[in-house]
Amino acid sequence: MWHAFWAAHFSLTGPKPAKAAFEDLGREYPKLRASFAKSLPEFSRDLKQALAHGRKPLDPEFWAKGPPCLRPARSFCQMYLENNDFSPASWRDCLALLEDLAGLAG
């Protein structure tokens, strides 16, 4: 699922393969899909709280909060923000990533 998501998110493919992979995940592992969808609001809140603090470093455990199924996205955002000095553009990119994930789960 993550391979298809990253390919779609970075415009290497269209959104259909990611959507199909997420639907397959739901058929094969319905509890995992439910945990994924249920955890997105927490991820959103964590990003919102971090954004309110501006350019301060994130909690070192930011990537590990929430269930393991979201750690690839959380760790990407943590590294991406830090590597881009918490620039406004990097925040927009992380929020766009969250929006793409919500589109899959919705």
Which residue would you say has higher pLDDT here, 56 or 1?
A: 1
CB distance 50 to 62 below 8 Å? yes
**Residue 106 above 80 pLDDT?**
no
CB distance 40 to 98 below 8 Å? yes
pLDDT at 55: 66
This prediction's pTM: 0.89
How deeply is 7 buried, as exposed, middle or buried, from its count of CB atoms within 10 A (0-12, 13-18, 19+)? middle
Residues in the chain: 106
pLDDT at 40: 94
Q: Where are the domains of the chain?
A: 2-105
pLDDT at 105: 85
Which residue would you say has higher pLDDT here, 101 or 58?
A: 101
Residue range 8-66, pLDDT digits in tens: 999 999 999 999 999 999 999 999 999 999 999 999 999 988 888 776 788 888 989 88
pLDDT at 101: 94
pLDDT at 73: 96
Q: Which one, of 9, 39, 36, lies nearest residue 25 by Cα? A: 36
